Amino acid sequence: MIDSFEGANASWGAGLRIAERAFRLLFTLEYAARLLCVQRPLLYARSVFGIVDLLAVAPTWLSLFVPGLHALIDVRLLRLLRLFRILKLAEYVDEYGALGRALYASRRKILVFLSFVLMVVIVMGTVMYVVEGPANGFTNVPVSVYWAISTMTTVGFGDITPKTGLGRFIASFMMLVGWGTLAVPTGIVSAEFTAARMREPALLTTRTCRACLSESHAGSARFCSDCGAQLPAYARSADPKGSGGG
């Protein structure tokens, strides 16, 4: 991002190039270490995170070893591919995995929802093409469908607007429908999040209540379920049962 500013590039270009070489070396060493550590390196290389790792290091190496690459593709695209390094953060955050599982579990519902939205924008775009016509900017059906998408998503660029009373009535209806429709995928994914959370087994620990000496309390519990006394702090690394589940 800093490199995209001409003034910053002129002032700090040398430092940015050194930092880029350092990042290139670190990411390359990590990618090579992963291939050496896993039992099936080719399987990992073809996985999602394996491809992300490759895209994180490949652009800068390509620009070094293929001098004529700039004739085939603009060098800015290679710089853009460096952003794939950001995707590597998802590998170290459990919540990214939970989000991915929720989206995968709700894929059929989301697909049905997108199919419904697609049918609505095609029908309403065609109707607006008939109502408004080329004289008011609706030159063809695809342009009218584009207007329907921007209206239903409540974006409303304003480059194409209805001029007739009937067209404005249809546009108002589309805005109201879009306002309520956008909440549907959020509800679908949120429901999957809740269902996944409820399916997770409770993590039982060896913590003992100092008041009633009861054991096997959940890892997230702060008070004893038998007497209500406050439980000692839970240290995951020191608990031999912490790696298991109940």
Assess if residue 125 is contained within a domain: yes
Q: Does residue 123 share a domain with residue 87?
A: no
pLDDT per residue, tens digit, the chain (246 aa), is: 777 788 887 888 888 888 878 888 888 888 888 888 888 888 888 887 778 778 777 766 776 776 555 444 444 455 566 566 666 666 566 667 777 778 888 888 888 888 989 999 999 999 999 999 999 999 999 999 999 999 988 887 888 889 999 999 999 988 888 888 878 888 888 888 787 777 665 555 667 777 776 766 776 777 887 788 888 776 654 444 444 443
Q: What are phi and psi of 218, to 5 degrees?
A: -65, 150
Q: Does residue 117 contact residue 152 with C-beta atoms inside 8 Å?
A: yes
Total domains, the chain: 3
169 conformational bin, left if phi > 0, alpha if psi -120 to 50, beta if neither: alpha
Q: State the pLDDT at residue 243.
A: 43
Q: Of the candidates 142, 157, 184, which is a domain's last residue?
A: 184
Nearest to 166 by CA among 122, 133, 123: 133
Quickly count: other Cβ atoms within 10 Å of residue 177's Cβ: 15
| φ/ψ of residue 217, rounded to 5 | -90, 150
Q: Which helix (H) or strand (E) holds 9?
A: helix 6-37
The reply to whether 179 and 212 lie within a common domain is no
For residue 28, being part of any structural domain is answered with yes
The CA distance from 155 to 141, in Å, is: 19
Does residue 197 form part of some domain? no
Are residue 179 and residue 111 in the same domain, yes or no?
yes
Question: Looking at the structure, do residues 72 and 151 belong to the same domain, yes or no?
Answer: no
Exposure of 93 in the CB half-sphere (CA atoms within 13 A): 9
For residue 118, what are its two tokens? Answer: 């697609």
Whole-structure pTM value: 0.53
- Considering the domain architecture, whether residues 77 and 120 belong to the same structural domain is answered as no
Residue 9 CB partners (closer than 8 Å, separation 6+): 2, 3, 16
DSSP annotation of 232:
P
- Same domain? For 20 and 51 the reply is yes
We report the CATH number of the domain holding residue 44 as 1.20.120
Q: Report d(CA 118, CA 68) in Å as an integer.
A: 43
Are residue 88 and residue 9 in the same domain, yes or no? yes
What is the structure's pLDDT at 237? 46
CATH number for the domain including 153? 1.10.287.70
Residue 37 lies in a domain: yes
Q: 172 lies in which domain range?
A: 107-184
* DSSP, residue by residue, 18-60: HHHHHHHHHHHHHHHHHHHHSS-HHHHHTSHHHHHHHHHHHHH
Q: Domain boundary residue among 152, 184, 216?
A: 184
